[in-house]
Amino acid sequence: MNKANQLQDINRSNKPYIIYKSRKGFDLYTDFSKKIILNNKNVFSFLNKKTSTKRFKETDLFIGFFGYELLNNLIGVKVPRQRNMNFSKGIFYKPEKKISLNNKLKYTPRKRISFKKKFEININRQSYKKIFDKFKKKIKSGETYQIKICTKYKMKSKVDPLDLFCRLSHTNLAPEAFMIKDKDYSVISCSPENLITKTGTIITTKPIAGTVKKSRSMTKKKALKYFRNNLKETKEHNMIVDMERSDMSRICRAGTVRLTKQKVVEEYKDLFHYVSLIKGQLKRKIKNIDIIRAMMPGGSVIGCPKISTLNLLNNQEKENRNIYTGSFGYIKFNGDLKFNIIIRSILNFKNISEISVASGVVVDSNSRHEFNENYLKAKALIDLFK
């Protein structure tokens, strides 16, 4: 049986499965022997779980996600009661089967689903400006230096997640793309941002801060020039890089945290991003729970300083972020791990599709520009429903 047919058959069997972008294509994980639903109490025992590495196999790992609220709890930040869908705070799976797929995922749905409704935004332009102006005052008073305002696009829908993911991978292939399909929910993501890659004692993070729309006149070369000459974008990027270097320095040996790639441009379907790469060597006796508490939630999608900014956001936002700005990835039994930041993602739960996005506010920001940037970030996902 060829791999395209395997994908079709696994999808039609209604077995839960996960697809995650790899260097050469995609890895598909299925035949789960364990499903661990995390909460604020059991997450600590899960992260401190000891596993045997005597006979290490490629399926000796847990793969899944930490939601935003769970990550706040891990670092002692309270999220007030908010409107929510009662979605899980985090879920991890133990696969017994892994299939390697190439970049060109092939899937023919039995019937293409038509979407008759349109996404509705939870914050209109006027409401966004009020929040923006409030946070601008917080910046000027020194309570935060940068803060990310989240907006949500929602629509009642029934989806074929594999159809959406395959089309998304063809139009907007991203280095941290993933999909989860379970019986009661699915997640489709074209996340570009890696938060943690740990191999042995070496750890890296890839902060993204800076976005500009693609056009005929805005090429990759011109985007780099735009970012370098734009004071607001440069300031925002520098703050996030400094914060993530500081986060890494808490768990890395002194003098080993370095910028190995600084302020380069990455190209996506509708936009260009401003990106850096930071590398360090872990201190002795650092555990995975120490790494996760130091690095999550990712600073580039929160703002800085992290704790005070999280408190400002949590007291302002009326809806639970669910998976958004959480992290998806895996923890291998040998201690290695890899996690992204959950952005550019669709959560499908209770026949509702939810897309969350955010843009950064600094002292030089313009509310109209940031509001429009949020839509630009969501566009590649919204277009799947046309």
Point out the least confidently predicted range of 59-63, 73-77, 114-118: 114-118
Most confident option among 54-58, 107-111, 321-325:
321-325
Tokens 């996506």 belong to residue: 268
**pTM of model > 0.75:** yes
Domain that holds residue 54: 3-385
More confident residue, 86 or 301: 86
Distance CA 189, CA 168 (A): 8
Percentage of residues of the chain with pLDDT beyond 90: 67
Residue 183's CB: how many other CB atoms inside 10 A?
A: 8
In whole angstroms, how large is the CA radius of gyration of the chain? 20
Average pLDDT of the residues in 76-86: 92
CB under 8 Å to 262, separation ≥6 — which residues?
241, 276, 277
pLDDT of residue 300: 82
CB under 8 Å to 40, separation ≥6 — which residues?
70, 73, 89
Residue 110's alpha-carbon distances to 107, 157, 171, 385, in angstroms, are: 10, 17, 21, 17
pLDDT of residue 52: 63
Distance CA 205, CA 224 (A): 21
pLDDT of residue 54: 67
Q: Is 70 exceeded by the pLDDT of residue 383? A: yes
pLDDT of residue 3: 64
Residue 349 half-sphere exposure toward CB, CA atoms < 13 A = 14
Q: Is 60 exceeded by the pLDDT of residue 162? A: yes
Average pLDDT over all residues of the chain = 91
- Can you read off the two tokens belonging to residue 297? 């939630």
Average pLDDT of the residues in 214-243: 88
Distance CA 148, CA 300 (A): 9
Distance CA 119, CA 374 (A): 14
Distance CA 292, CA 245 (A): 14
Please, what's the b/e burial string for 365-386 (b: 16 or more CB within 10 A of its CB; e: otherwise)? bebeebbebbebbbbbbbebbe
How confident is the model over 234-271, as pLDDT tens digits? 888 888 899 999 999 999 999 999 999 888 888 887 78
CATH number for the domain that contains residue 350 = 3.60.120.10
Average pLDDT of the residues in 20-39: 96
More confident residue, 14 or 29: 29
Average pLDDT of the residues in 127-146: 92
CB under 8 Å to 156, separation ≥6 — which residues?
117, 351, 352, 353
Task: Provide the number of structural domains found in the chain.
Answer: 1
Asked whether 127 and 220 are in contact (CB, 8 A), the reply is no
Distance CA 121, CA 284 (A): 47
Tokens 């955010």 belong to residue: 358
Residue 313's alpha-carbon distances to 148, 247, 310, 320, in angstroms, are: 8, 20, 5, 11
pLDDT of residue 301: 85
